[in-house]
């Protein structure tokens, strides 16, 4: 999907919500957990219920891999279901891959060709030649980790050289890489103050912002500092939506949680004169 | 596997060779490529031929994922085959995972519980709480990226604060993390000069050294600067061994390439009075 097609969907649905699919069978309602194919059944129900309120889904690949072959099968079914039934929705494989060039190409093939995701999260530690193989795929986006939402982000991402922290160098240097118009960045919602600076460095880039909800980030702060003139944000919520209820009404509760976020997002899009 | 059990194998076999399984069906000999289950067939033949000369195998997970469900099935068969037929050999999933705590735990379960690898490569960008979930698994090792062998390593790994490059901070800080006695580090063979410093910072740690062979690293330099009093090295070669021939004699050629490296390693172990 092109960036413009994503922007069109955002403005049409008045939402920049991404629903994270962190599938955990233990947290699913009993009737799903005990049925056949619980992972796919759960995801399908969540998708059908929340699709009116979001523009993107982000399966968290670790949660699928943890179930081995069954998990991988379920992942294939989930992405096929999304691409078949909701082709205008944007899909992100949250896999945080990163390796030398010939290996990175394999990961790109796995997620862009085999599984047909629109986008993939990628880790920057190994530098330019570990990221450019992903950027070579047209119609796909590479979402580079910049400043993450977890406490450990402080360990290395703020290391400074010449007054610039590592996450700034990641953002600024990567803008010079081949295919950088297909780059987005992960910026944690718990780092709203950093959004001001990041918007100066990359005013036009899309940012994927996790950490709203269960991790404590504020949607208002993120929208206030992060929105640009074509929205430029995908705000992810996972647990706060998909586990809004662990009872039979889980899909309905997820829809309600998603709708509440969508309403706040619509208000922000109006406030910023985007719709 | 414990570190001591690994050391015992190294001294017994006079080898610190790790064979990297970067499976690429295109590079396999025709009779394998055109048969049933080419990935497993190829890996099994390579393992049976090279096992006398190495102490570890390192499937490169990207190469399996690129084949989708078939690749994941083949990976399960390869690790099962290794654990069943060669239980004293050490197994490393080269996956370079890294994510926030609850997600990292899922990756750990995927590779340590589901697939039963001895070790996993992990990326440090997200800091302490993204790595400690792996370190919580006893009898397993977490192999943290420190200084990689690719050109892009220069982009971020050498960024300096207070005279210390990022890869030094990764190594030194991680030594204070919970379970750090189960940490190893990836140090590219193309960075032999850095090995001198790394051995000062972590004299006792095991280092996984890729980049010998196809990537141009020198085994002699790595052994000279990297060996410690319990060996402390696993030197990986992938393409130089598994694609030594693309003809019917591929397994025999792989064995020969592995044996040549093993002989050089045995000489170094003797020279350093380790055997």
* Residues 6+ positions from A210 with CB-CB distance below 8 Å: A20, A149, A186, A188, A189, A217, A236, A238
- pTM score of the predicted model: 0.97
pLDDT at A118 over 80: yes
Q: Can B96 be counted among the known catalytic residues?
A: yes
Which residue of chain A is at minimal alpha-carbon distance from B100? A150
Cβ contact (<8 Å) for A98 and B102?
no
Mean pLDDT of B155-175: 97
CATH 3.20.20.70 at B3-188+201-271, yes or no: yes
Q: Beta-carbon neighbour count of residue B268 at 10 Å?
A: 23
Which residue is catalytic, options A27, A73, A96, A197?
A: A96
Which residue of chain B is at minimal alpha-carbon distance from A150? B100
A28: DSSP letter: S
For chain B, the structural domain boundaries read 3-188+201-271
pLDDT at B125 over 80: yes
Nearest Cα neighbor of B104 from B79, B123, B119 is: B123
Cβ contact (<8 Å) for A169 and B159?
yes
Distance CA(A172)–CA(A244), nearest Å, equals 38
pLDDT at A109 over 80: yes
Nearest Cα neighbor of A70 from A106, A23, A139 is: A23
Nearest Cα neighbor of B47 from B74, B65, B10 is: B74
Q: What is the pLDDT of residue A159?
A: 96
For residue A153, the chain B residues in CB contact (below 8 A) are 126-127
Nearest Cα neighbor of A262 from A10, A26, A2 is: A10
pLDDT at B215 over 80: no
Complex-level ipTM: 0.95
Read off the pLDDT band of B213 (50, 70, 90). confident
Q: pLDDT per residue over A250-270, tens digit each?
A: 999 999 999 999 999 999 999
For A3-271, which CATH class? alpha beta
Cα of B110 to nearest chain A Cα, Å: 4
- Please name every residue paired with A141 in a beta bridge, in sequence order, or none if there are none: A119
Cβ contact (<8 Å) for B157 and A127?
yes
Cβ contact (<8 Å) for A65 and B123?
no
Residue A193 exposed, middle or buried by CB count within 10 Å (0-12, 13-18, 19+): exposed
Cβ contact (<8 Å) for A66 and B127?
no
Interface mutation vs chain B, best among A152, A165, A170, A173, most B CBs within 10 Å: A152
pLDDT at A183 over 90: yes
Q: What is the pLDDT of residue B116?
A: 97
Q: What is the pLDDT of residue A84?
A: 98
Provide the token pair at A108.
């790109």
Distance CA(A3)–CA(A182), nearest Å, equals 8
Task: Give the 3-state DSSP-derived string for A53-107, with helices as H, strands as E and coil as C.
Answer: HCCEEEEEHHHHHCCHHHHHHHHHHHHHHHHHHCCCCEEEEEEEECCCHHHHHHH
Q: pLDDT per residue over A159-181, tens digit each?
A: 999 999 999 999 999 999 999 99
Distance CA(A180)–CA(A174), nearest Å, equals 7
Q: pLDDT per residue over B4-49, tens digit each?
A: 999 999 999 999 999 999 999 999 999 999 999 999 999 999 999 9
pLDDT at A98 over 90: yes
Q: pLDDT per residue over A208-231, tens digit each?
A: 999 887 677 899 999 999 999 999
Q: What is the pLDDT of residue A74?
A: 97
Cα of B248 to nearest chain A Cα, Å: 25
Provide the token pair at A204.
């036009």
A76, B170, B182 from B138: Cα distances, Å: 32, 22, 8
Q: What is the mean pLDDT of chain A?
A: 96
Residue A62: which of B110, B149, B150 has the nearest Cβ? B110
Distance CA(A233)–CA(B159), nearest Å, equals 29
Q: pLDDT per residue over A13-68, tens digit each?
A: 999 999 999 999 999 999 999 999 999 999 999 999 999 999 999 999 999 999 99
Distance CA(B269)–CA(B274), nearest Å, equals 5
Q: pLDDT per residue over B183-208, tens digit each?
A: 999 999 888 789 999 999 999 999 99
Compute, in degrees rounded to 10, the torsion defined by CA atoms B128, B134, B135, B136: 110
Q: What is the pLDDT of residue B93?
A: 98
Residue A127: which of B60, B107, B156 has the nearest Cβ? B156
For residue A102, the chain B residues in CB contact (below 8 A) are 22
């Amino acid at each position: 999907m092109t960036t413009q097609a994503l922007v069109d969907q955002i403005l049409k649905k008045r939402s920049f919500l991404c629903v994270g699919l962190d599938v955990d069978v233990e947290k699913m309602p009993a009737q799903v957990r005990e049925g056949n194919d619980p992972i796919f059944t759960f995801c399908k129900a969540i998708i059908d219920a929340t699709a009116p309120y979001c523009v993107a889904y982000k399966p968290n690949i670790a949660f699928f891999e943890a179930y081995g072959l069954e998990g991988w099968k379920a992942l294939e079914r989930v992405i096929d279901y999304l691409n078949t039934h909701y082709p205008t929705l944007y899909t992100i494989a949250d896999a945080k891959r990163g390796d030398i060039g010939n290996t990175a190409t394999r990961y790109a093939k796995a997620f862009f060709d085999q599984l047909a995701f629109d986008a993939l999260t990628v880790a920057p530690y190994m530098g330019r030649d570990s990221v450019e193989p992903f950027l070579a795929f047209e119609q796909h986006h590479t979402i580079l980790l910049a400043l993450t939402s977890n406490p450990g982000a402080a360990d290395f991402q703020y290391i400074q050289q010449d007054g610039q922290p590592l996450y700034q160098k990641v953002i600024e240097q990567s803008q010079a890489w081949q295919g950088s118009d297909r780059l987005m960045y992960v910026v944690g919602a718990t780092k709203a103050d950093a959004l001001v600076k990041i918007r100066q460095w990359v005013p036009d880039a899309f940012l994927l912002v996790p950490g709203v909800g269960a991790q404590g980030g504020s949607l208002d702060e993120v929208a206030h500092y992060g929105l640009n003139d074509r929205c430029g944000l995908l705000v992810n919520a996972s647990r706060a939506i998909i586990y809004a209820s662990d009872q039979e009404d889980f899909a309905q509760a997820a829809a309600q949680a998603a709708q509440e976020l969508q309403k706040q997002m619509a208000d922000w899009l109006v406030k910023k004169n985007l719709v």
